[in-house]
Amino acid sequence: MAKKALVIVESPSKAKTIQKYLGREYIVKASVGHIKDLPKSKLGVDVKKGFEPDYQLIPSKSKVIEELKKASALVPVLYLATDPDREGEAIAWHINEELKARGKKVHRVLFNSITKPAIIEAMSNPQKLNSDKYHAQQARRVLDRLVGYKISPLLWDKVRRGISAGRVQSVALRLIVDREAEIKKFKPEEYWTIEGTFAKDGVEFKSRLFKVNGKDPELPDRKTVDNLLGTLHGCTWSITSIEQKERARKPAAPFITSRMQQEAARKLGFSAKKTMALAQRLYEGVDLGDLGTHGLITYMRTDSVRVEPGALEAVRTYIKEQYGAESVPTEPNVYKSRKSAQDAHEAIRPTSLEFNPEKVQAHLEKDEFRLYQLIWNRFVSSQMKPAIYDQTAIDIKTRDHEGREQNFRTTGSVLKTAGFTAVYGESDEDEKDGESREGALKLPAIAEGDRVECKGQEPTQHFTQPPPRYTDASLIRDLEEKGIGRPSTYASILSNIQDREYVEKRENRYYPSELGTVVTELLVASFPDILNSEFTSEMEDQLDGIEEGKSDWKKTLSAFWKPFEKTLEQAKKTMKNVKRQEVPTDVKCEKCQHTMVIKWGKLGSFLACSNYPECKNTQDFKKDDQGKIVIIPKEFTDKKCEKCGNPMVIKSGKFGKFLACSDYPNCKSTQAFTLGIPCPDCKVGEIAQRQSRYRRLFYSCNTWPKCNFAIWDKPLNKPCPKCAYPILSEKITKRAGLMHKCVKKECGFVEVIDADAGKMPAAEKESGTEVA
């Protein structure tokens, strides 16, 4: 059968889904992402020739290109159906360049959702390749290459090799570093509140001191509080105001990318990277058994809250059927996108209300289902009526013995009509950390002018709190509000600053590492514009202008490059070299009693004797909350140095933990950090935990290269019950869960220990295990 056309998408799973929809008349292939990129070994941008990029074929994609060329030779028409964003447009252009499809009709098609109606509709209305969108992506890529490739070598020279700077990631890192500086500089201030207990007709209720002579009470210490309370004994209290009103809480708009990431972090505990990976799978298509393969959500990279009329009508009908006509507003709820929104794609929503979460749950992995349910509920709730609350505020006043008017206030609210909250629980997304909602009031029958009895006042001491450290949700919120990056880049930004060890995550909060702080301080001093959020936001606006056809990409790059080049040359001369820096301390050397100085090494700062080279003593240290140096004691082991017999100590290096002689630097002997499990092959060495150059854990014999035993999975000191091999390995997969396996492949022994383990979030997995 002759083929009508070749359709090229990015993802193999998406290709499989679309092939089912289009049938055998079409060939559907996947590019598996980008096929071209700038070279790794050089700048790859000719600044003198109008910033011409030197795109080269990615070596690993040569086989993919050959397959696409063979398929292209069989058809007269080519449909480039890569993702409907800037990255997808660039991939489409590069594919077109490589296939050299002369004599063929070449169309660009955009799939906002992977459903049969959406695919047929897009194929029936093909477009042309969008040069403005391509140039916008190209400008971004060149900008990022110029910044990264020019600044990173400077950091190698001044700090350490292998680290990098990024046009957007460095600004995001600065937010975290600046927040940490705020926290360290913060000085708590004491303040007090007073809560009174009042009663009428035997019913007690609480009320808080609200005003003193019409002004906010100033209660900085216990003495002030006691003086104020002393003036209230025996006073007469009365109700001076009862205000009751309805308050409507409107539903939130359907998700855009950033809000989906924030809510998934808050409600589900997902990282931005995980959220986008799950959303990608839901978009590309899921096998629903007898129901067929369907894309369950619309395109997940969007900053628009727009919803097409057909989907609005469908969801309003669904709400009426499921929750009653009283839950549907007279007119559809309309939401405004941000000024910077591209509005090229709809909001993130279910592609069909036929597939409710419960109907498809059996075909989804646990976390896929949780995210789909979140998207579903958010979309449905966005077209429901507001939640209505009865809000009450009661003022209780007296005049104290010094003639001051003291006003206590009680507030609360009661849900009257559930509205959208019947579907989507109230979110904290518009609240700051530490705020809480009012609760329901339990009150006696009271009226204005009624007297009430004061049972007593309870003072409570408080201290002001520093700003909270960033979470995924709050960092994405600030990136969005400041215009740093775009929704499609947030996940990679957060991932990059962690991968490069600029920050670490503890209890879901971001802490800057020493390396991240040092790099940020150097970049802020030498490249103030690059590290300025307003400058970065303006660059994003200019890139948007290129996509909209309002700006020329080469002129935009030229305007950036000229001042940047001058700043770069100045930084080469003036940037502080932390490698050569020595910071004096008052810490005495334990060996010669000279003072220690802080130096910078490959793994960060350390203490070194100022009497070097006569004394080569070094010590690890950390700083406490007050910035004071605290010596980290050496962690001794019961192992002896093979060269000098001194005890070995545990150290941390580039590739994880290792053992070093405690007599360093006189003896520089090192050993691998072992697990105490004998090597099953040589019977002499022990299995050591190591780290590959890509930071992946593996396990090998500590006598390497004499013994080349090595495995990826964590070893267990248990013999195989089937073949008696000395050890088993531990592995976690999504399908089978936690398993114990024989290391010998020919044995084949496998025992499932916990079938649900593979469905847990990766953060909850045991260190050393891997999710396949």
Active site residues: 299
Within 10 Å of residue 524's Cβ, how many Cβ atoms? 16
Q: How far apart are CA 113 and CA 131, in angstroms?
A: 23
Q: How far apart are CA 766 and CA 757, in angstroms?
A: 10
Residue 449 identity? G
Within 10 Å of residue 748's Cβ, how many Cβ atoms? 10
Q: What is the DSSP string of 525-561?
A: HH-TTTT-HHHHHHHHHHHHHHHTTSS-HHHHHHHHH
In the block, residue with structure tokens 């073949």: 723
Q: How far apart are CA 27 and CA 68, in angstroms?
A: 10
Question: Rounded to the nearest 10 degrees, how much is the dihedral formed by the CA atoms of 305, 309, 310, 313?
Answer: 100
Q: Are strands 77-80 and 5-9 parallel, antiparallel or unpaired?
A: parallel
8 A C-beta contact, residue 176 and residue 158: no
Q: How far apart are CA 326 and CA 384, in angstroms?
A: 9
> 727 to each of 638, 678, 714, 745, how far by Cα in Å?
24, 9, 10, 13
Within 10 Å of residue 134's Cβ, how many Cβ atoms? 20
Question: Rounded to the nearest 10 degrees, how much is the dihedral formed by the CA atoms of 742, 745, 747, 748?
Answer: 80
Which H or E run includes 117? Answer: helix 116-124
SS (H, E, C) 584-634: EEEEECCCCCCEEEEEEECCEEEEEECCCCCCCCEECEEECCCCCEEECCC
Residue 767 identity? S
- Which residues, other chains included, contact 430 with Cβ-Cβ below 8 Å and sequence gap of 6+? none
Fill in the DSSP letter of residue 442. -
Q: How far apart are CA 429 and CA 419, in angstroms?
A: 18
Residue 748 identity? G
Within 10 Å of residue 736's Cβ, how many Cβ atoms? 17
Q: How far apart are CA 432 and CA 424, in angstroms?
A: 20
Q: Is 176 helix (H, G, I), strand (E, B) or coil?
A: helix
Question: CA end-to-end span of the chain, whole Å?
Answer: 40
Q: How far apart are CA 59 and CA 164, in angstroms?
A: 24
- Which residues, other chains included, contact 526 with Cβ-Cβ below 8 Å and sequence gap of 6+? 567, 570, 571, 574, 575
For 109, the token pair is: 């098609």
8 A C-beta contact, residue 463 and residue 190: yes
Q: How far apart are CA 471 and CA 297, in angstroms?
A: 26
Q: How far apart are CA 373 and CA 633, in angstroms?
A: 50
Q: How far apart are CA 597 and CA 253, in angstroms?
A: 56
